[in-house]
Structure formats: structure tokens, C-alpha cells
Structure 1
Amino acid sequence: MNLKSAFKPIKRKNKLIFLIILLCITISSIMIYSIINNFNKDKVISTAVIAERLSKISELSTTKYSYSNIIALTDSKKIKDFHIPFTEKSFLIKYSGYIKAGVDLKNLDIVVLQKNITITLKKSKILDHVINNEDFFVYDEKSSMFNKLSIQDMINEISNQKNKVEGDLIKTGFLEGANTNAKLLLQGILWDMGFENVTIIFK
């Protein structure tokens, strides 16, 4: 019997087994790499991308209220209930302004579970209250020698009125509307990032 002829089938069989093992190792390596890659991808979405996108926004202004107002002030020096003559001062101011409300995105609690995300953040607040300098008029300025009208008088009255306007506006549910708009905007951003279930909680 020829030994060379006998060993040929064995060698071919060994080569076939080796090729099968090599193929299995290759397929397994590809699968493991794919799983790790997807895991890392999900990890990036849950941390870096969310933090980056929301930190760029910082403060999310969601509601704006424009208004006009008139301030009339009449004042005089007095002793108890007696008004001292020739100490009266007065002015009339007409102006417009706007108030913006929204949420602060600097401090968020983010919980991600696969395609589900929950974000907890503080409720909306007044972000900005601006007086329009181009629509600011002063009428009927009157002052006396003993009680001069000053710019500070006007600044003080406008500051008081700003607080009043904000307080009255908040009573109408202005901040609740800002919460609703913030929720819708954040949901849209997170859905675009690939999340399927988005929960927004205000604390």
C-alpha cells in the first residue's frame, strides 16, 4: 500500500476542518465587534451627544410676552399727612417691553435605558425682562426747587412696575405654558436623536 496515497485524504480533511474553524472564528469576531460597536454607539448617544446638544442651548426660552405700559407718578414731600407746598414732582412714562420664560438646561438628571430616556429638570422661570428703549417716552415732567425730579425716580418706578407685571403674568399661568412648550421642544430634540420613549419631569 502506498503511504502517500493514504495520507492525502487525511491532509485534505484536516485542511477542511481548519478552514471551518477559521471561518467560525472570523464570523464570531465580526459579531463581537458589531455588538461592542453598537454598545459604544448607544453609550455615546446617552452621554456625550445629549450633554453636548443640550449644553449648547443652556437656557431654553419657550414663551414670550410683549406688552405696553403707562406709569404716572405724583409725589411731594410731607410731614405726617400734610403735603408741603412747592415740593410736588410728577411725570408720565409710556413704554413697551417683553418678558421671556423658559428652562435652565445646565443642571439635568438624565436616565437612559436603551431607546427610553427620562430627563428631570427645574420648572420654567423668567429668563429675561427687557424694556424697549426705542419705545420709551416721558411726558409732563414737573419738579420743584425743593424736590427735584431725577432719573433714579423713573428707574425706581419702572423697576417696581416690572415686578408687578411679572407677578400678574405668572398668575395667568404664563410659566405653566412655558413648561408645556419646553416639554414639546425637548421631546422633538430627543426623538430626532433616535429615542422612542421620552419622559420629561419638572421638579
Structure 2
Amino acid sequence: MKNLKKILFVLLFLVVAFVGGMFFANKQTEPEISSTLIQNRIEQASDLVTTKYHYAKVGKFENSLSLNGWSIPLTNKNFILTFEGEIQLGTDLSKAEVEIKDSTIHVTVDKPTVISNSIDESSIEVYDETKNIFNPISVNDYKKFAVEQKETALSEAKKKGLMKTAQENTKKSVKEIISVIPDTDEYTIEVTFKE
């Protein structure tokens, strides 16, 4: 009977030690939520493209030679272009600042900026192109016109709320990046932009 009590005591001790060891081992392997951990995860996304804006435009180019502000007759040149392009906006997450206060993760990032604004060259169609021997159309005319059209498209997109959309998408993307880190579901995530 005495031996049975000793055996039961030893078995109980071993079970408690095993369960305790497993509990502490699990505690040690769980990642601790820290601003450094979150910052590293955010920085891995680097230049985050959050918004793409597709545009299709028709533009007319006109030009003539001039002398003292007067247009010279028979030197007019023009063409009409149709084309498609895409504006990409994003944020450089390597400059993100992370702070954890109580149960809130505060992330401050740069405001979204234009990463690219490009015209799809395969979409360009030229119409009504004049052949003027006194003032021929040059490659530079097309290049200059394309730059002007891209700036016009960007300006129109901004008027339609593109920057606001990009900010909302950036907030959503940063929250999604953080939410895949284990145990962050217990935190409120706030994303703000630097002034």
C-alpha cells in the first residue's frame, strides 16, 4: 500500500511536470507582439502599390510656326491620338513608424504618391495626321504631347478622388499585412499619414 502511494505520487509529479513544461514551452514559442516585429513585417512590403487607375483618352495636337507671336500661314501641323494608360499610386513602407500603446497598434506612413504614370504604346492610334513640308511632325512632337496627356490624365484622376481612394486602400493594405501576424487580432490597428 505504501509503495502504491509512492508510485502514484511519482506519476502525479511527472504528469504535473510534463503539463507545466508543455505550457511554458508554448509560452516561449509564441511570438511577442512588438513594434519591431510589426515594423519588420511592414517593411518587407517595401513600395506598396495600393491603387491603379486605368484611363483611355483622345487628344488633339496642333502647332504652327510663328514669327513675333503671329502664326505663319501654311505651317500648321496636327494629329489626333487615342491611347490607354495606367497610373499607379503607392507608399514607401520602409519609412513606416510603429508604436504599440495598450491594445492599439499605431502605424504612421507616408501619404501615397504616384509611382508610375505610363501610356501603353501598343494602344496608341494616330488619326488625321497632316503632312506639312514646311513644319513636319517630329518624334519630339509625339513625346511632348504624350507627357502633356499623362499630366492631364493625372490631374483629372485627382479631381475624381484618386488620392483619397489611394489613402483608403493604403490603410486597408497595412491592416491586412499586420493582421496575418499571430495574436494581432487582439489589437486595434490605426493607420495615419505623415503631414
TM surpasses 0.5: yes
Query: Could you list the runs of 4 or more consecutive aligned residues of structure 1 that deviate by over 6 angstroms after TM superposition?
Result: 33-36
CA apart distance, 1:154: 0.9
Give me the CA root mean square deviation.
3.0
Partner residue of 1:57 out of 35, 45, 66: 45
Mapped pair 1:131 → 2:119: yes
Residue 81 (structure 1) shift: 4.5
State the 1:140 CA deviation.
2.1
Q: CA deviation at 1:152?
A: 0.8
Q: Return the match for 1:170 from 158, 170, 173.
A: 158
Q: Does 1:41 align with 2:31?
A: yes
The structure with more radius of gyration: 1
Within 2, Cα distance between the matches of 1:168 and 1:67? 10
Aligned-pair CA distance for 1:183: 0.9
User: In 1, Cα distance between the equivalents of 2:56 and 2:62?
Assistant: 20
- The answer on whether the counterparts of 2:75 and 2:132 sit within 8 Å (CA) in structure 1 is yes
Q: 1:201 is matched with which residue?
A: 192
* Structure-2 separation of matches of 1:77 and 1:130: 30
> Number of residue pairs matched?
177
**Alpha-carbon separation, structure 2, partners of 1:37 and 1:130:** 50
Q: 1:175 is aligned with what amino acid? A: M
Residue aligned with 1:146, SS:
coil
Q: Give TM-score, length-normalised by structure 1.
A: 0.74
CA distance in 2, matches of 1:144, 1:103: 46
**How far apart are the structure 2 equivalents of 1:99 and 1:35?**
47
Query: Is the Cα–Cα contact under 8 Å of residues 88 and 143 in structure 1 kept in the other structure?
Result: no
1:154 equivalent among 138, 142, 155: 142
Match of 2:97 among 109, 112, 136: 109
Q: 1:135: how far off? A: 0.8
Match of 2:84 in 1: 96
Report the TM-score, using the length of structure 2 for normalisation: 0.76
Percent of residue pairs bearing the same amino acid type: 26
Superposed displacement of residue 82, structure 1:
3.0
Report the AA paired with residue 118 of structure 1: H
1:77 aligns with 2:65: yes
- Residue 32 of structure 2 aligns to a residue whose secondary structure is helix
